[in-house]
């Protein structure tokens, strides 16, 4: 009779949540770890199709090891027979993946650069749209406050707000007889209550 080969328990160095998240992500990749490493080095979109879109690159940024995680795996390997032995005999699948791809030069920075390229047009569009809003607001503000503007609605509004504020603060010791107003208080004017009855102030 043949003896049953004893099952070797794989060493898991990461917390369960992180291990599970990476395992699920790698489950979709039908490549060996060394093939994944080569594809990441060359940023091969044919081998790793996720690299062709921003969402896919973000997924890879979540799969590759942090410096701390890679060092943790390497420290274990250095004291337990070396990298090759640990990868083939001892480490769990995620730890093996980290050991294999973790030393790719500037991997995270390169993936971030790819992400920037893929999202540049969208980000630029947002910036240009915001610039348009600012320029339009500036144009309207200049027009409303121009010396020769008629009827000069914004200038008249500020003048009225200033007079009301000064009148309300006059004799108010808590506010130190404050004069003028801060622009960020203008939205509060909508909540100001008044009365035409002189007895009520």
For the chain, 201 residues long, the average pLDDT of each consecutive 10-residue run is: 59 89 90 92 90 92 92 90 83 91 91 92 89 85 64 71 75 62 75 62 48
This prediction has a pTM of 0.61
What's residue 182's pLDDT? 73
What's residue 72's pLDDT? 93
Residue 54 contacts residue 119 (beta carbons within 8 Å) = yes
Residue 103 contacts residue 40 (beta carbons within 8 Å) = no
Tokens for 151? 């009827």
Which residue in 134, 121, 194 sits closest to 164, CA to CA? 194
What's residue 71's pLDDT? 92
Count of CB atoms situated within 10 Å of the CB of 102: 20
Q: Which residue has the tokens 């009225």?
A: 160
What's residue 157's pLDDT? 75
Q: Please state, in angstroms and rounded to a whole number, the distance separating the CA atoms of residues 23 and 17.
A: 10
What's residue 116's pLDDT? 92
Phi, psi of 2 (to 5 degrees): -95, 145
Residue 96 makes CB contacts below 8 A (sequence gap 6+) with 33, 87
Estimate to the nearest angstrom the gap between the alpha carbon of 175 and the chain centroid.
42
What's residue 82's pLDDT? 84
């Amino acid at each position: 009779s043949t003896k049953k080969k004893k099952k070797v328990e794989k060493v898991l160095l990461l917390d369960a949540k992180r291990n599970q998240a990476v395992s699920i992500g790698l489950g979709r990749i039908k490549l060996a770890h060394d093939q994944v490493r080569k594809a990441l080095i060359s940023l091969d979109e044919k081998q790793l199709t996720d690299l062709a879109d921003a969402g896919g690159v973000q997924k890879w940024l979540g799969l590759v090891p942090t410096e701390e995680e890679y060092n943790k795996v390497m420290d274990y390997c250095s004291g337990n027979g070396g990298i090759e032995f640990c990868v083939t005999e001892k480490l769990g699948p995620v730890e093996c993946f980290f050991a294999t791809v973790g030393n790719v030069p500037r991997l995270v920075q390169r993936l971030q650069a790819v992400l920037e390229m893929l999202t540049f047009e969208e980000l630029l569009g947002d910036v240009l749209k915001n610039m348009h809003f600012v320029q339009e607001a500036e144009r309207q503000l200049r027009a409303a406050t121009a010396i020769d503007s008629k009827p000069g609605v914004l200038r008249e509004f500020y003048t009225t707000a200033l007079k009301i504020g000064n009148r309300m603060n006059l004799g108010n010791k808590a506010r130190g007889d404050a004069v003028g107003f801060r622009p960020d208080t203008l939205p509060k004017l909508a909540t100001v209550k008044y009365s035409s009855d002189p007895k009520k102030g």
